[in-house]
Structures are given as C-alpha cells and as structure tokens.
Amino acid sequence: MIMTDTFYHFRDIRVAETPAPSPRAELHRELGRTLAELNEQVLRLDASDDQLRDYIQQARELKAAMAEQGQRDYGTTLRRLLDGEGTGDDVTDLVDFEILTGKASPLSPPLELWLEGDKVKGRGIFGLAFQGPPGRLHGGVIGLALDILLAKTQDFVEQIGVTGTLKIRYLAGTPLHKPVEFEARLIRMEGRKLICEGSVWVEGQQTVAAEGIWISPRGDYRLKPEYAELEAAIRA
C-alpha cells in the first residue's frame, strides 16, 4: 500500500479520472497484459503433446507460486471506498481488474472508456479470444461492453443502480482486430429508472444499437450539480 494524503470515496470514481497508477499497479497492468497475450497465444496452439504437457506443468507451477501470495480482499477495499477512506491503490484495485475494461485483467482487450461532453465513449481492439462468428466479435461480448458503457452514464447522476433491461439490435457484424468505437448517453430519468442508449461503430459504420434501463435500488436519479447543463440535452 502506498502512503497517500488523498482519500477517495466510491462515488468519486469516474471513468478515466482514476488516480495515476502506483508502481505496483503498473506491474499488475504489465502482468495482466502478458497473460492476455498468452490467452491469445494458447488458442489452437500448434504444439506437440510433449510440449503441451510441458506448458501445463509450467502453468501449474506459476499458478501455485501466485497462490502462495494470496489475494487482496475485494470486500475490504470496497468498504474503505464506501467509507470515503480509499487510497489511490484501492481505486486502481477496483477498476483495474474489471472485466473487459480493467487494464490489469487478462480478460480485457482492454476496452478504454472516457467521458466526452454528454457521452460515455469507448474504444477497443478485440482479438480471437473474443470471437463469435468467424472473424467477428461475439454478440454476447458486445452486450457485455454495452452493459459496461451504458452503466457508466451513471457517472453523470447521483445514485448507482443495476441493469434492469438491456435491448440490443445487431445491425451488422463487428470485426475482430479493428478499432471498435462505443458510445452511450442518457436519454431520460424517471424516478428510480435511468433510460439510456448506446451504439457501436467500426470505420464509421454503425454495427449495433442498444437501449437500456438502469434501476436505482434506493433514491431517485438526478443529475449531479456539475452536469446540470445536460438537462437540456437529455430532454431534447
């Protein structure tokens, strides 16, 4: 744990506004990237039986060595953040291992996210590990990416909720190995319901359209004061 004077609350964690990674977080990212590359490499690996047995042994040894280190506890990290006592490392621990977007997760391309005006934007290049139809991104992975993007429209509002409904219309295949652009924006808020939409683009062509409803378990959704100017946009 690095020493820090800055403490973070869970609600402070916004897309692309996370603290600079500590040296430890940078190393986790490098390890995650290396394992993601391994994940691509292992697909239909053209190795002999003896080589495969050797790789299995090496992988087991690596896993056993890591298991000796233990793992930092997610619940404890989240608790500190919910109490407003999280460190920068706690923030990166939370976001860096998220599926698809986490820079230290072997299950991420990674999908990069950022806020731009009234939109959440994303970009990623997906490899073979994410294939559905030949040469194309799996529709379920697109659904996952859109779930993540649309959920981040909650950065503009008070309250945080869960996915209630996510409707996806696949308009065209989304290719692997090319930059895929994602967009999401708020449409309106109705009490505890937040309605938003998303889209997926490749080389200027829209391949997917989505609509979502997020449900806040407690209070009503309302814009954060710093995003009050979005009122006009979401009512337009």
Ligand X SMILES: CCCCCCCCCCCCCC(=O)SCCNC(=O)CCNC(=O)[C@H](O)C(C)(C)COP(=O)(O)OP(=O)(O)OC[C@H]1O[C@@H](n2cnc3c(N)ncnc32)[C@H](O)[C@@H]1OP(=O)(O)O
Closest distance to ligand X from the beta carbon of 236 (Å): 22
Look at residues 174, 190, 100, 92 and name the one whose alpha carbon lies nearest to residue 136: 174
Number of Cα atoms under 13 Å in the Cβ half of residue 152 = 27
Which helix (H) or strand (E) segment holds residue 148: the answer is helix 139-151
One residue of 13, 147, 150, 210 binding ligand X per CB under 6 A: 147
Copy the structure tokens of residue 89: 């490392």
One residue of 165, 167, 188, 206 binding ligand X per CB under 6 A: 165
Give every CB contact of residue 38 below 8 A, 6+ residues apart in sequence. 106
One residue of 115, 215, 223, 233 binding ligand X per CB under 6 A: 215
**In angstroms, rounded to a whole number, what is the distance separating the alpha carbons of residues 185 and 183?**
7
12 belongs to the binding site for ligand X (CB under 6 A): no
| 174-203 residues near ligand X, rule: CB under 6 A | 190-193
Look at residues 105, 167, 160, 119 and name the one whose alpha carbon lies nearest to residue 142: 167
Closer to ligand X by CB, 75 or 204: give it. 75
Q: Let me know: does 131 contact 138? Beta carbons within 8 Å.
A: yes
One residue of 164, 173, 211, 223 binding ligand X per CB under 6 A: 164
The site that binds ligand X (CB under 6 A) totals a number of residues, namely 14
| 90-109 residues near ligand X, rule: CB under 6 A | none
Count CB-CB contacts under 10 A for residue 104. Answer: 24
Closer to ligand X by CB, 151 or 176: give it. 151
160 belongs to the binding site for ligand X (CB under 6 A): yes
Look at residues 126, 99, 117, 129 and name the one whose alpha carbon lies nearest to residue 181: 126
Residue with nearest beta carbon to ligand X: 164
One residue of 23, 70, 204, 217 binding ligand X per CB under 6 A: 217
Which residues sit opposite 184 in a β-bridge? 120, 198
Angle of helix 88-95 relative to helix 74-82, nearest 10 degrees? 120
Give every CB contact of residue 195 below 8 A, 6+ residues apart in sequence. 186, 187, 188, 189, 211, 212, 213
Closest distance to ligand X from the beta carbon of 11 (Å): 8
Closest distance to ligand X from the beta carbon of 215 (Å): 4
151 belongs to the binding site for ligand X (CB under 6 A): yes
Residue span binding ligand X (CB under 6 A) among the ranges 25-33, 156-164, 172-180, 226-234: 156-164
Closer to ligand X by CB, 63 or 218: give it. 218
Q: Let me know: does 148 contact 101? Beta carbons within 8 Å.
A: yes
Closer to ligand X by CB, 176 or 198: give it. 198
58 belongs to the binding site for ligand X (CB under 6 A): no
The footprint of ligand X (CB under 6 A) covers 147, 151, 160, 162-165, 190-193, 213, 215, 217
